[in-house]
Structure 1
Amino acid sequence: MPDKKGYIIDIDGVIGKSVTPIPEGVEGVKKLKELGKKIIFVSNNSTRSRRILLERLRSFGLEVGEDEILVATYATARFIAREKPNAKVFTTGEEGLIEELRLAGLEIVEYDEAEYLVVGSNRKINFELMTKALRACLRGIRYIATNPDRIFPAEDGPIPGTGMIIGALYWMTGREPDVVVGKPSEVIMREALDILGLDAKDVAVVGDQIDVDVAAGKAIGAETVLVLTGVTTRENLDQMIERHGLKPDYVFNSLKDMVEALEG
């Protein structure tokens, strides 16, 4: 594959699965840094703040700065704060998302006071919280989704992603989000390019999901690399390509294998 100045790299399914590192992914990042490449980790994770992800990556043995992490929680908070500073927000999300929303100067309120509904994953979602999200959605307020992920690669296998809540709200109300911030949306990808200071032609987008990472790369006109350490595996690769109607530019078993191909 052609050498690039920068790499936009997914975290879950590429570098680690929850708190467990993927050794080939960690080694691949270290080698890219040794080669002097610009890297930004772009994650659709909607339950973790930058602080939490930074601690996790460092626990994997990676020397990473906060400016190298662009997570959907942070990107969502920045998007709303630019659109309406000090906005009142109701969210389905966990503490990681709430932390980033508050750091951006946004006010967390109940559904009947909110100007924005922000949907993010919540591993403890219940009937009461889903009812509040439904009522916020029916009020017609601005509806922002942190990401559209249908599934999430946990340590012990796939679990429901934010798409579980988006899908339920759509089925009940007919409404889709007004804005989706996370991949494959251009919102988070354009911000990643801006942080890197590079054009799309100068980067490759690396991830483990065709409908999320590969689609995100193609949305900005970047070359795409699919690694088989997460949701997509060697066994389901052809099925995933057929299902989503997208084909990555390159496929490698792991990030380490991609870097070894770069080195020749």
Structure 2
Amino acid sequence: MAGGGDGRASGNPRRRVGRAGRRPRRGAQPGRGHRRRPPGRSPDCFTALCPAGGTALPRYRLAHRRGYAGRDVGFVVASFDRTFDYRKLQIAFDAIRAGARLIATNADRYCPTPTGGLPDAAAVIGAIEGCTGKRVEGVVGKPSPITARAILAHLQLPASECIIVGDRLETDIRMGQEAGMATAVVLTGVTTPESLAASDIQPDYVLRGLDELLPP
């Protein structure tokens, strides 16, 4: 999540953001930026999405529902999908064998849950790469600069006036740093105090919870 505030806060990089007393003017969820236009979409190119259940990409035409026989499939987009099955894998396999390119929304290995975690997009990527022998060409989600540019365009703010908040150092925080935003990691997801201390990626702020973003 990225938000626009009144500028980059200064001081101890491990201070709690909420105590800075800055209320974000508006925010953006990075995943929403990819709903607007399928990658590589052109009038003569049908985009097959695999997986394509769930909520991550709800506005795209879904290959496993509509089929793609006789159509030019330009891309297979791998993402998190709790309904990924052999049928969807077959669709991706056929499309890539016919010339489609493979990209992904993200490459997270797992999604944290109260009971432990769920296999994330990396599991889907691995299945498709394993049967096709093709490597994913790129990840358009975090930490890609594509996502950073989409966020800044949505907020209509310079990076120096934004802060990105997330629970993953290698995606959320890395993207924010490379884009020139302030960064805050929240310790309610993947990152723990121990993994933070051991990482080369260090955020500007550390939050125990999202409530610390609110002014006192």
TM range (shorter): 0.7 to 0.9
- 1:182–1:188: 8 Å Cα contact kept in structure 2? yes
Provide the identity percentage: 29
Distance of 2:53 and 2:177 partners within structure 1:
30
User: Residues 135 and 195 of structure 1: is their aligned pair in 2 closer, same or farther, counting only changes over 3 Å?
Assistant: same
2:30 alignment partner, one of 37, 42, 45: 42
User: How do 1:70-85 and structure 2 match up within 5 A?
Assistant: 71=32, 75-80=34-39, 83-85=41-43
1:175 aligns with 2:134: yes
Which residue matches 1:47?
none
Distance of 1:169 and 1:36 partners within structure 2:
40
- The structure with higher relative contact order (CA 8 Å, sep 6+) is 2
Distance of 2:125 and 2:194 partners within structure 1:
29
1:174 Cα shift? 4.3
Higher Cα Rg: structure 1 or 2?
A: 2
Which residue matches 1:140?
99
1:253 aligns with 2:208: yes
Distance of 1:225 and 1:250 partners within structure 2:
4
Aligned residue pairs total 198
1:117 aligns with 2:72: no
SS of the residue corresponding to residue 101 of structure 1 reads coil
Distance of 1:118 and 1:126 partners within structure 2:
15
CA RMSD of aligned residues (A): 3.1
Q: Looking at secondary structure, tell me which structure has more helix per residue.
A: 1
- 1:229–1:253: 8 Å Cα contact kept in structure 2? yes
- 1:5–1:38: 8 Å Cα contact kept in structure 2? no
Which residue matches 1:90?
48
Q: Deviations over 1:144-175 (max 9, x none)?
A: 31222221123433211111111233344443
1:203 alignment partner, one of 162, 167, 177: 162
Whichever residue aligns with residue 185 of structure 1, its letter is S
Report the TM-score when normalising by structure 1. 0.63
Q: Structure 2: which 5+ runs fail to align? A: 9-17
User: How do 1:1-264 and structure 2 match up within 5 A?
Assistant: 4-5=5-6, 35=23, 37-43=25-31, 71=32, 75-80=34-39, 83-85=41-43, 87-92=45-50, 93-97=52-56, 99-102=58-61, 108-110=66-68, 113=71, 114-239=73-198, 241=199, 245-260=200-215
- 1:76–1:146: 8 Å Cα contact kept in structure 2? no
Report the TM-score when normalising by structure 2. 0.75
Whichever residue aligns with residue 42 of structure 2, its letter is K
Of 155-164 and 185-194, deviating more is 155-164
